[in-house]
Amino acid sequence: MKVVHTVKDLKAELQATRDNKQSIGLVPTMGALHAGHASLVRRSLEENDATVVSVFVNPTQFNDKNDLAKYPRTLDKDCELLASLQEEENNDKLLIVLAPSVEEMYPEPDNRHFSYPPTDEVMEGGFRPGHFNGVCQIVSKLFMFVEPTRAYFGEKDFQQIAVIKRMVADQQYPLEICPCPIIREADGLALSSRNALLSDEERVIALNISRTLFASKEYAKEHTLAETKQWVIDEINKVEGLEVQYYEIVDGTSLLSLNNWEDSEYIVGCITVFCGAIPVRLIDNIKYKEL
């Protein structure tokens, strides 16, 4: 495994792979790696000749300075996890960790504006203005520098994948976006770097989010879409310490809210909940109908 901090070193490490016309997988992350990230890296190692894992807390996607300052930064631990993962897999393919500085990724302020309505305007887009523009800025830079054959993203950030797919179509990047299923703890909690911010008690409370989403699939069989949406919101808000910011049941491609179960063949419920005193903002989602 190689750790590089500059685009120049990244390109040097990838040169032989490119010369041999071999495939490159990219796993963009903000570090604080957990089993969810590990599943993306495993898949990339399996499907490509070389894998680049970027570890970069991207300032342009944070609209809250506190949130940016608080975000965990654990590069040494992240590198240990990646090295042991490659060892476990008995995989000797090229694995590069790109851990650049902010100056390296943004030598100049990035004035590009990415806009993909309605996909980037609803849900997270409404509550975190500018967030997806920042995500598109950094991901497009990574696509330019790495020139991956495939890029891997976790479905926990369901909306992020939909926005990035729009950007790939718009910018005509010649690569494949590979969505990977949410990884959950044995008790159902969706893995997230933010779970580290939960106290033991808050973690137990947070379990009500995934439990309610799973139960809503049963509830949905006998109820309308509007009833199901309201039921999820009420069940979670009933729990002391949890407060739903939004729950939307949407078309899985456009992310537009739906009124009836018959209105789409691909239906996903996306939720954001505040948990605990600080509070920690948790997201999760569930598929009611899959393509």
Here the tokens at position 195 are 């779970």
**Cβ closest to ligand PAF, residue 61 vs residue 285:** 61
Considering the complex, what minimum distance in angstroms separates the CB of residue 58 from ligand PAF? Answer: 4
Single out the catalytic residue among 34, 37, 113, 131: 37
Considering the complex, what minimum distance in angstroms separates the CB of residue 217 from ligand PAF? Answer: 25
Verify binding: residue 157, ligand PAF, rule CB under 6 A: yes
Considering the complex, what minimum distance in angstroms separates the CB of residue 128 from ligand PAF? Answer: 11
Q: What angle do CA 3, 131, 190 make, to 5 degrees?
A: 70
Verify binding: residue 125, ligand PAF, rule CB under 6 A: no
Verify binding: residue 133, ligand PAF, rule CB under 6 A: no
For helices 131-146 and 158-171, give the axis angle rounded to 10 degrees.
60
What is the chain's alpha carbon radius of gyration, rounded to the nearest angstrom? 19
Please identify which residue in 61, 133, 137, 285 interacts with ligand PAF, judged by CB under 6 A.
61
**Cβ closest to ligand PAF, residue 28 vs residue 220:** 28
DSSP track, 123-188: THHHHSTTHHHHHHHHHHHHHHHH--SEEEEEGGGHHHHHHHHHHHHHHT-SSEEEEEPPPB-TTS
**Cβ closest to ligand PAF, residue 106 vs residue 261:** 106
Strand 267-275 relative to strand 280-289: parallel, antiparallel, unpaired?
Answer: antiparallel
**Cβ closest to ligand PAF, residue 61 vs residue 272:** 61
Contacts 24+ apart (CB under 8 A), 245-252: 245/127, 245/272, 245/273, 245/274, 245/281, 246/123, 246/126, 246/127, 246/270, 246/271, 246/272, 247/271, 248/122, 248/123, 249/225, 249/288, 250/122, 250/123, 252/158, 252/162, 252/287, 252/289, 252/290, 252/291
Verify binding: residue 58, ligand PAF, rule CB under 6 A: yes
Which region, judged by CB under 6 A, interacts with ligand PAF, from 22-30, 42-50, 205-213, 245-253? 22-30
Which region, judged by CB under 6 A, interacts with ligand PAF, from 86-94, 115-123, 131-139, 175-183? 131-139
Q: With 0-12 CB in 10 A as exposed, 13-18 as middle and 19+ as buried, what is 54?
A: buried
Verify binding: residue 272, ligand PAF, rule CB under 6 A: no
Q: Active site includes 5?
A: no
Number of helices (H), then strands (E), belonging to the chain: the values are 10, 9
| Number of residues near ligand PAF (by CB under 6 A) | 10
Verify binding: residue 30, ligand PAF, rule CB under 6 A: yes
Residues 250-269 that bind ligand PAF (CB under 6 A): none
Verify binding: residue 232, ligand PAF, rule CB under 6 A: no
Verify binding: residue 14, ligand PAF, rule CB under 6 A: no
Verify binding: residue 138, ligand PAF, rule CB under 6 A: yes
| Site residues, ligand PAF (CB under 6 A) | 28-30, 58, 61, 135, 138-139, 157, 160
Residues acting as catalytic residues: 37
